């Protein structure tokens, strides 16, 4: 059977149509539900942005308190989920989240309901509970008891409260909320595609999102914002940056925080998070010297990368400033991928809804390149 040209990694293959997000790597543009990422991140809360993706329009101002109250009502975890998190207290946060995610439908009478109403109800639970899972794990691995969620705080503020045991500074809650909106969706990335493939079998939303978490865990997708901090700590000062960067490149190592599979210009999410990191530095909640060093390293890295890898267009990606923003609110590098999942779950759920509505099994072909005509030897 003749097979069309193989596209490794499905590069350039258009698998579906979506109203959720659009990535233009040449122009450095990211559209979320019709809004440029720089327009919606920092202006709409995560709860508003997720609701917009789930129902197709940004909620009116008067609707927002009710939406936040409803989502807050889903934050608490069942005892079975907490037991799994306790068992996984020494596992990486993203692994604990994957294990716990599979249990988040235990309080639903029909977890296999993939109707629009069933999917929406499950999306609300997942988006509300992901931060609770990560916060509970953060406490347990320190030998502390998890803190119950509060319904009077927004999702980001409540997460920081559950991790640290005190209400966060408004700037810290705003920074985390902006981060979650910035990463809420990003075209047909690996984890989103995984969720859609699972959903295309008419499987349930929790199964699809659990698979998406597994895909995100891989370092080629979940990224490496933690090593960005390691790089900045190792460089120490602006005058050491150029020599350090050249040494890494000459050794064949990657400079973390630069280059992207899609973007050939600066990642628009890096632009949003750079402003957020600057605001945190200005609020004295962030290491100002680290922020200033990061800006200097970024400038030097872009020049050195162009000199050593001309034409590769290795520009600043979302990981670079993610590291600064998440570090600034007190989180540890090994928590960063799980924090990414807490934002991306809003988009995953929206894609599952869209795939269920399309109701088309995703079934690509493959080209066989193995041997033929083999015979089993006599024994």
- Nearest by Cα to 121 from 214, 188, 167, 54: 54
Give the 3-state secondary structure of residue 152.
coil
Q: Give the residue numbers annotated as catalytic, written as ranges.
A: 260, 319
Backbone angles phi, psi at 251, to 5 degrees: -85, 0
Give the angle 45-23-64 at the CA atoms, nearest 5°. Answer: 15
Cα separation, 45 vs 156, in Å, equals 9
Do 246 and 303 touch, CB atoms closer than 8 A? no
Do 329 and 175 touch, CB atoms closer than 8 A? yes
Cα separation, 93 vs 155, in Å, equals 19
Do 343 and 179 touch, CB atoms closer than 8 A? yes
CB atoms within 10 A of CB 340: 24
Give the DSSP letter string of 135-162. Answer: HHHHHHTTT-PPPPP-TTS-HHHHHHHH
Place of tokens 């807050």: 72
Place of tokens 């590769």: 312
Secondary element (H or E) of residue 68: helix 64-72
| Helix, strand, coil tally for the chain in percent (to 5) | 60, 5, 40
How many Cα neighbours within 13 Å face the side chain of 171? 15
CB atoms within 10 A of CB 304: 22
């Amino acid at each position: 059977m003749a097979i069309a040209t193989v596209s490794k990694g499905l590069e350039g293959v258009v698998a579906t149509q979506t109203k959720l997000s659009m990535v233009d790597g040449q122009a450095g543009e990211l559209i979320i539900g019709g809004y440029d990422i720089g327009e919606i991140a920092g202006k709409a809360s995560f709860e508003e942005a997720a609701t917009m993706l789930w129902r197709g329009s940004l909620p009116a101002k008067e609707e927002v308190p009710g939406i936040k109250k409803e989502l807050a009502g889903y934050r608490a975890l069942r005892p079975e989920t907490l037991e799994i998190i306790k068992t996984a207290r020494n596992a990486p946060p993203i692994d604990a989240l994957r294990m716990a995610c599979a249990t988040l439908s235990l309080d639903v009478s029909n977890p296999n309901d993939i109707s629009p109403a069933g999917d929406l109800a499950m999306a609300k639970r997942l988006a509300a509970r992901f931060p609770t899972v990560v916060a509970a794990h953060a406490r347990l691995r320190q030998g502390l008891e998890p803190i119950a969620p509060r319904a009077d705080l927004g999702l980001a503020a409540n997460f920081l409260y559950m991790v640290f045991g005190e209400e966060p500074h408004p700037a810290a809650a705003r920074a985390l909320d902006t981060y979650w909106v910035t990463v809420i969706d990003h075209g047909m990335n690996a984890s989103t595609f995984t969720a859609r493939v699972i959903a295309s079998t008419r499987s349930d939303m929790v199964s699809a999102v659990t698979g998406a978490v597994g895909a995100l865990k891989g370092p080629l997708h979940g990224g490496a914002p933690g090593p960005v901090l390691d790089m900045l700590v190792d460089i120490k000062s602006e005058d050491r940056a150029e020599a350090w960067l050249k040494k890494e490149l000459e050794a064949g190592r990657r400079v973390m925080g630069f280059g992207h599979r899609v973007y050939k210009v600066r990642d628009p999410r890096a632009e949003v998070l750079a402003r957020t990191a600057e605001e945190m530095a200005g609020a004295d909640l962030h290491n100002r010297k680290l922020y200033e060093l990061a800006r200097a390293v970024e400038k030097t890295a872009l020049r050195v990368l162009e000199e050593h890898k001309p034409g590769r267009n290795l520009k600043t990606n979302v990981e670079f400033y993610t590291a600064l923003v998440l570090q600034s609110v007190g989180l540890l590098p090994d928590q960063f991928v799980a924090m990414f999942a807490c934002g991306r779950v809003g988009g995953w759920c929206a894609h599952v809804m869209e795939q269920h509505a399309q109701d088309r099994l995703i079934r690509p072909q493959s080209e066989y390149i193995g041997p033929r005509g083999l015979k089993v030897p006599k024994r």
